[in-house]
Chains A and B, each alone.
Chain A
């Protein structure tokens, strides 16, 4: 149980284009999902908290108009990187709160999406 998937796993795009990344909880419902980015040899940095049916909460320094988050259902959240630039190249990871599924009440992470902007 507690499986989180992400799609695509890897994407290469041209500068100026937009890229959408999907995060799905496969066997549980997640009212809250989290989006992180990770640069090489660095830790995970929380970008935003995605709440089903409401606006996402962004961390300080994260541009909400550039990183659009939509949490349309209890099993799906999407992150759209708009007008991507090379500095947006990174590893994007989502997580979902396992909630009542397990006793550990922890977040379960998706496999991540490697974004490369040329």
Chain B
């Protein structure tokens, strides 16, 4: 059975801290790994990773995929209270439908 596991499930930090969120997966026919940020409503897209070892970066956020270890990390540097959210990792399975399998999510709380 395909599965995606995230850790930690929850995290509380203070503004300015750096955090690392983990995502590991076991799927057949891996196509890509995606990170989303979910605040009150629907998830918003952060990154899509398909190649191992290539870091993707957007401002204070960055992410990298390790296909050998079947995992990915999402780093957030100099955290701000606005980074408080649920961070979801999803793996796209290669098919003609682009099905996503989501991890449980990591709830991040950034305190002032």
Q: Are A107 and B100 in contact (CB under 8 A)?
A: yes
Which residue from chain A places its CB closest to the CB of B4 in the assembled complex?
A: A43
The number of chain A residues touching the other chain, given as a range, is 20 to 34
Contact of B98 among A44, A107, A111 (CB under 8 A): A107
Q: Are A109 and B98 in contact (CB under 8 A)?
A: no
Complex contacts, A110 vs chain B, CB 8 Å: 42
Which residue from chain B places its CB closest to the CB of A97 in the assembled complex?
A: B98
Q: Are B101 and A46 in contact (CB under 8 A)?
A: yes
Q: Are B98 and A45 in contact (CB under 8 A)?
A: no
Complex contacts, B34 vs chain A, CB 8 Å: 106
Complex contacts, A106 vs chain B, CB 8 Å: 34, 45, 48
Instruction: Kindly count the residue-residue contacts between A and B in the assembled complex, taking CB atoms under 8 Å apart.
Output: 50
CB distance from B23 to the nearest CB of A (A): 12
A27–B39 Cα distance when bound, in Å, is: 23
A107–B43 Cα distance when bound, in Å, is: 10
Contact of A43 among B42, B99, B104 (CB under 8 A): B104
Grouping DSSP codes into helix (H, G, I), strand (E, B) and loop, the A interface class, with mixed when no group exceeds half, is strand
Q: Are B102 and A44 in contact (CB under 8 A)?
A: yes
Given contacts A42-B104, A107-B98, A107-B100, contact A112 B45 (CB under 8 A): no
Q: Are A44 and B43 in contact (CB under 8 A)?
A: yes
A95–B27 Cα distance when bound, in Å, is: 21
A32–B97 Cα distance when bound, in Å, is: 7
- A18 within 8 A of partner (CB): no
- A28 within 8 A of partner (CB): no
A36–B90 Cα distance when bound, in Å, is: 13
Q: Can you add 11 more A-B contacts, CB < 8 Å, to A45-B102, A46-B102, A93-B43?
A: A36-B102, A43-B88, A43-B104, A44-B88, A57-B97, A104-B45, A104-B48, A106-B34, A108-B45, A109-B42, A110-B42
